[in-house]
Amino acid sequence: MKRVYMDHAATTPVDPIVAEHMMHCLTEVWGNPSSVHSFGREARRVLEESREMVARLVGARSNEIIFTSSGTEADNLALLGVARRLARKGRHIITSTIEHHAVLHTCEYLEASGYEITYLGVDRTGLVDPEDFRRALRPDTILASIMLANNEVGTIQPISEMAAASREAGVIFHTDAVQAMGSLEVKVDDLGVDLLSLSAHKIYGPKGVGALYIRKGVRLEPLVFGGGQERQLRPGTENVTGIAGLGMAASLAARQRASRVQRIQSLRDMLERGIKERIPGVTLNGSPDRRLPGLLNVTIQGVEGESILMNLDLKGVAASGGSACAAGSLEASHVLLAMGFSRDDARGAIRFSLGADNTTEDVERVLQVLPPIVERLRRMRQGAGYGY
């Protein structure tokens, strides 16, 4: 059975060029970048080249990039790092209800440690209102964190507007760009952000490596202590192979983004049209226009998303829905609930996220297998007359 992968928002396949570069570094460049000898220098060179490529991708200087183990760690370093550094200045932080859990759960932790968090709500399409943001700013606000594009519905936030308001108020602005990276043109100066998180595995790089952009002059407390690596903000001998993969992925993203995105978006639109034509009772979740090009989140009325996903998987089609809990079962998405969905509607949502490796045949395959599944499940659900 030929499998179709449409879950690129969860993770992307590793680009063969990235894999090749990583394999080279893994076997040939195994020195410690901190060493004074030639082995160390070779590793240092890979490290700094990667930093340069990541910096270029986001329009930053290379000394503004800190490598981390993940997007989650980058988010944690940004939030906890600023909050702890500026605790004496103020203890108010602004974020939104649709952030990734890497941000939300960190905020909840800060809340329990004596910080005050304002969670901005969103409209039905998942958009934060910049006016709400302005009104939430206070004299004791030290940090704001709003994601660039949402990972579940793909809604793109008006970050530059909010970041400008933030700067005017002297508040540090962080954006989680993990999902947007590779799909959108992301330049830190255009956005006006002070901190930005990204992750390698969402841009055809490896898992286990991310980066935090830290605007020159912004000071953070580290989360871990050790040697002097990563300007003492992230000590520990560097994951040179992973970082090499991130660097190569960033370099490919910078060069190929425009052409990739155009293709992905036209496939996504084809899938969206096809689903709407073939299946009645389908509604689009998120914003029709302010949306990531590869993302399609729909609610299929009267069917549980979980059952659709299992059936798609049995046909070799990989999609997703909601957010998986630790055990792996689906929970109603906190993003859709924040957007005003009922629990039932939220549990009927499924997400297709397309990527560079998808083809027209993939879309046709989904359009071939999905409608009969939905029809069958709807028939059965009417017969059974109960939900879970």
Partner 1 sequence: MVTERFGQGTRVVVAMSGGVDSSVAAALLVRQGYEVIGVTMQIWEAQDPLEEAREGGCCSLSAVADARRVADLLGIPYYVANMRGVFGREVIDYFVEEYTQGRTPNPCIACNQKVKFEALLHKASELEADLLATGHYVRLSYDESRARYTLRRARDLQKDQSYVLARLLFPLGEYTKNEVRVLAAELGLPVAGKPDSQEICFVDEGRHGEFVAERRPDAVQPGPIIDASGRVLGRHRGLSYYTVGQRRGLGIAAPYPLYVIRLDPERNALIVGPEIQTFAPGMRVAKLNMVALETLHPGTQAEVQIRYRARPVPASITPDNPGSVLVRFKEPQKGVTPGQAAVFYQGDLVLAGGIIQEPIWE
Interface region with partner 1, contact rule CB under 8 A, candidates 121-129, 251-259, 284-292, 303-311? 303-311
- Nearer of residues 52 and 331 to partner 1, judged by Cβ: 331
17 vs 314 by CB, closer to partner 1: 314
Could you confirm whether 107 is annotated as catalytic?
no
Handedness of CA 64, 153, 69, 112 (dihedral sign): positive
In terms of CB distance, is 225 or 386 closer to partner 1? 386
Token couple for 357: 């490796």
* Integer Cα distance of 21 and 2 in angstroms: 28
Q: Catalytic residue among 1, 36, 258, 325, which?
A: 325
Measured CA to CA in angstroms, residue 220 lies from 83, 84, 207, 214 at distances of 8, 8, 25, 9
Choose the binding region for partner 1 from 136-144, 224-232, 325-333, 354-362 (rule: CB under 8 A): 325-333
382 binds partner 1 (CB under 8 A): no
The per-residue DSSP string of 247-287 comes to: HHHHHHHHHHHHHHHHHHHHHHHHHHHHHHHHSSSEEE-S-
What secondary structure letter does DSSP report for 155? B
Which one among 95, 179, 199, 307 touches partner 1, defined by CB under 8 A? 307
- In the complex with partner 1, the residue whose CB is nearer, 307 or 353, is 307
Calpha distance 113→41 (Å, rounded): 42
Token pair of 170 as six digits: 């002297």
CA 322, CA 151: separation in Å to the nearest integer? Answer: 11
The yes or no reply on residue 380 touching partner 1 (CB under 8 A) is: yes
When binding is defined by CB under 8 A, the residue of 2, 288, 326, 382 that contacts partner 1 is 326
Closest separation in Å from C-beta 309 to partner 1:
9
Pairing between β-strand 323-324 and β-strand 65-68 as defined by DSSP bridges:
unpaired
Tell me if 217 sits within 8 A of 27, measured CB to CB: no
Residues 27, 38, 329, 382: which binds partner 1 (CB under 8 A)? 329
Q: How far is the CB of 374 from partner 1 (least distance, A)?
A: 11
Which is nearer to partner 1, 303 or 354 (by Cβ)? 303
Decide: is 224 part of the binding site for partner 1 (CB under 8 A): no
As annotated, the active-site residues are 325
Query: Contact positions toward partner 1, by CB under 8 A?
Result: 306-307, 310-311, 313-314, 325-331, 376-377, 380, 384, 386-388
